[in-house]
């Protein structure tokens, strides 16, 4: 495999292991107080490390939109590594003065990607937005961190729908690199079929089961059996055999079954080569492909309008992603109860998309957003707050109330058009009080009814909630001791993760009990572990495999501890990440 090297790599390749754990302190609750959604303000490297005791191997989908390293410094989310926090981190970690722009970018990305991988579930997937400036370098470090065998695809997103004339060749796309933690375990969902994609399904024979398409019956004969070579006599009398180098895709008995069920089409003349009928009603979706046009995944103009509508045109965030882009990723990569993480949160589009997708399918996805820069509260969190609670807005809100694509045959049938007219009339009557205006259009054989609300004061919120949090205390103080400001719960979560590399079920914590895993029980005695404590633990846990006690000291002999299968881990040395 090609190997990537750069100045500073030796300093950062294991740097994630040396990052100090911090506690995460929630400052404000917005909306539903029981919500597990979070927006964290702080250095995303520290935040990612501090999330491990809570979310290691728990996140189903990660989306990040890191700096593209184009040299542009005019944005709020500046794109050339000039963030004060990033500059300080680089200077503290490597000799940044000797590095090129790409060296700095790679040094910044590498440890963060390492931690992101640790947070992914075994079947989790990460999506990374990037452009031409660093796409090759990104792929090489991701191949190194995630494994080249876990590369899934590079999506091409059409970010503009209008011509770009400022460059020698117009720039109208960006990339989204996709990696799985384990390719064999990752699952990508199908997307709902659009009306544009459904155009190939027609009904030339007025089949009562509705629109269908013909699937050719032939296949390459490389692995064919003798049962895939036979004659087929069309209703018009013509005899068909597979062309040279081809075979029938189904054996004769299956063909006869399809024929009996009227699932074979021989063309209008009843003499054409047979096709298998596949009905539109049987299509459960379409596999996503690598080209994501703006008509399906949104564009930058749309994204800017979204944030302007929510925060007003005076906001200074110029480079948001459209909700439709992130929501499309959510559709293909998550289920209803998954956790989604975005550690370069920007304007908060990921949270907005999660809320919209939950509203659409009744899901309970949870989001964790991390934003390093100072606008985390005023832009990132404020946007999500307004989406949840509602916001003042002047404009139009459009809802599709009815949409039906008609064939030419259907249009020419008076009874069909009468039925459609009745359906539309009923929609108009039922919905007239709910909208300022209802529009009817007929374009490209499609009847569409759209409800339009003039929103002049307030757009209703989606609901849900989140906690606004900041990074707080270090787990260890300046002398290497456990920080005296920590609660038992905070210590317990850290101990459990250090021991098992898994997040703890916080409902099990009850001092001095920390938690258990596979019949191993962990306890924390801050001062001293005594013999009476040991007897009590043995009495409480009849069928334990092992008891692990974190404490400062004990007077119990090593032999007695060994006889009772009890391990002592001493504070603070054994509590540090291993």
Same domain, 387 and 422: no
pLDDT tens, position by position, for the chain (578 residues)?
677 998 888 888 899 888 889 999 889 999 998 899 999 999 999 999 999 998 999 999 999 999 876 555 433 334 444 556 666 666 666 665 656 778 888 999 999 999 999 999 999 999 999 999 899 999 999 999 999 999 999 999 999 987 767 777 888 999 999 999 999 999 999 999 888 888 899 998 889 999 999 999 999 998 899 999 999 999 999 999 999 999 999 999 999 999 999 999 999 999 999 999 999 999 999 999 999 999 899 999 999 989 998 998 877 677 899 999 999 999 999 999 999 999 999 999 999 999 999 999 999 999 999 999 889 999 999 999 999 999 987 777 788 898 888 888 888 888 888 988 999 999 999 998 889 899 998 887 889 899 998 877 788 999 999 999 999 989 888 888 888 899 999 899 889 988 888 888 777 789 999 999 998 999 999 889 999 999 999 999 888 999 999 999 999 999 999 999 999 999 887 776 54
The reply to whether 495 falls in a domain is: no
Residue 406 covered by a domain: yes
Task: Examine the domain organization and report whether 272 and 291 are in the same domain.
Answer: no
Q: Are residues 151 and 90 in the same domain?
A: yes
Structural domain span for residue 324 = 9-192+287-391
Sequence-distant (6+) residues with CB within 8 A of 123 are 60, 180, 181, 182, 185, 186, 187
Q: Looking at the structure, do residues 353 and 444 belong to the same domain, yes or no?
A: no
79 lies in the same domain as 113: yes
**7: Cβ–Cβ under 8 A, 6 or more apart, which residues?**
94, 98, 99, 100, 103
Q: Which of 370, 391, 412 is the last residue of a domain?
A: 391
Does residue 327 lie in a domain region? yes
| Helices of type H across 17-134 | 44-55, 84-93, 101-119
Grouping H, G, I as helix, E, B as strand and the rest as coil, residue 355 is: helix
Residue-wise pLDDT tens digits, 143-155: 999 999 999 999 9
Distance CA 564, CA 578 (A): 25
44 and 162 both lie in a single domain:
yes
194-226 confidence digits (pLDDT tens): 888 888 999 988 899 999 999 999 999 988 999
Tell me if 377 is assigned to some domain.
yes
Domain identity same for 100 and 177: yes
Same domain, 101 and 140: yes
Residue 424 lies in a domain: yes
Contact 178, 126 (CB under 8 A): yes
Residues 406 and 552 in one domain: no
Question: Does 154 lie in the same domain as 56?
Answer: yes
* pTM of structure: 0.79
Q: Taking the CB of residue 243, how many other CB atoms lie within 10 A of it?
A: 10
Residue 29: inside a domain: yes
Domain count, the chain: 4
Decide if 415 is inside a domain: yes
Tokens of 14: 């294991």
Contact 389, 461 (CB under 8 A): yes
Domain end marker among 282, 298, 332: 282
Q: Of 225, 256, 282, which residue constitutes the final position of a domain?
A: 282
pLDDT at position 94: 63
Helices (H), 67-204: 84-93, 101-119, 135-146
């Amino acid at each position: 495999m090609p190997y990537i090297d750069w100045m500073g790599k030796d300093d950062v390749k294991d740097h994630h292991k040396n990052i100090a754990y911090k506690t995460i302190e929630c400052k404000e609750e917005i909306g539903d107080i029981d919500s597990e959604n979070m927006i964290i303000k702080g250095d995303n490297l520290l935040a990612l490390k501090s999330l491990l005791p809570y979310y290691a191997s728990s996140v189903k989908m990660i989306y990040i939109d890191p700096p593209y390293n184009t040299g542009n410094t005019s944005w709020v989310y500046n794109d050339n590594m000039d963030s004060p926090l990033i500059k300080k981190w680089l200077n503290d970690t490597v000799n940044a003065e000797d590095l090129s722009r790409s060296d700095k970018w790679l040094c910044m990305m590498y440890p963060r990607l390492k931690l992101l991988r640790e947070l992914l579930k075994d079947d989790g997937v990460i999506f990374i937005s990037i452009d031409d400036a660093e796409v090759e370098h990104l792929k090489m470090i991701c191949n190194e961190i995630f494994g080249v065998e876990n590369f899934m695809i590079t999506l091409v997103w059409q970010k503009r729908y209008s011509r770009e004339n400022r460059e020698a060749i117009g720039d109208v796309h960006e990339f989204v690199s996709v990696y799985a933690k384990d390719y064999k375990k990752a699952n990508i969902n199908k997307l709902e079929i659009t009306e544009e994609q459904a155009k190939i399904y027609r009904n030339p024979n007025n089949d009562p089961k509705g629109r269908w398409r013909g699937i050719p019956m032939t296949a390459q004969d490389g692995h064919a059996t003798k049962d895939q070579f036979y004659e087929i006599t069309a209703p018009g009398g013509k005899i068909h055999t597979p062309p040279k180098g081809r075979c029938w895709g189904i054996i004769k008995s299956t063909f006869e079954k399809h024929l009996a069920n009227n699932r074979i089409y021989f063309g209008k003349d009843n003499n054409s080569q047979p096709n298998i009928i596949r009905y539109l009603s049987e299509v459960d979706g379409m596999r996503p492909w690598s080209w994501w046009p703006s008509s399906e995944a949104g564009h930058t103009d749309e994204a800017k309008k979204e944030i302007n509508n929510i925060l007003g045109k005076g906001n200074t965030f110029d480079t948001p992603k459209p909700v439709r882009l992130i929501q499309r990723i959510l559709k293909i990569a998550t289920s209803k109860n998954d956790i989604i993480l975005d550690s370069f949160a920007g304007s908060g589009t990921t949270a907005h998309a999660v809320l919209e997708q939950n509203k659409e399918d009744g899901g309970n996805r949870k989001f964790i957003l991390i934003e390093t820069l100072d606008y985390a509260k005023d832009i990132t969190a404020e946007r999500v707050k307004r989406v949840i609670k509602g916001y003042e807005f002047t404009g139009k809100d459009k809802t599709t109330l009815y949409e039906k694509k008609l064939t030419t045959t259907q249009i020419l049938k008076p009874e069909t058009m009468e039925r459609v007219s009745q359906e539309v009339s009923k929609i108009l009557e039922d919905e007239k009080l709910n909208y300022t205006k209802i529009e009817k259009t007929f374009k490209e054989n499609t009847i569409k009814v759209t409800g339009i609300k003039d929103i002049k004061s307030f757009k209703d919120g989606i609901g849900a909630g989140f906690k606004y949090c900041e990074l707080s205390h270090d787990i260890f103080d300046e002398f290497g001791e456990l920080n005296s400001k920590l609660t038992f719960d905070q210590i317990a979560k850290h101990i459990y993760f250090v021991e098992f590399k898994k997040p703890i079920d916080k409902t099990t914590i009850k001092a001095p009990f920390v938690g258990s895993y596979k019949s191993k029980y962990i306890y924390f005695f801050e001062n001293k572990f005594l013999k009476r404590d040991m007897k009590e633990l043995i009495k409480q846990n009849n069928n334990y495999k092992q008891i692990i006690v974190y404490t400062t000291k004990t007077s119990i002999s090593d032999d007695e501890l060994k006889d009772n299968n009890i391990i002592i881990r001493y504070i603070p040395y054994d509590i540090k990440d291993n």
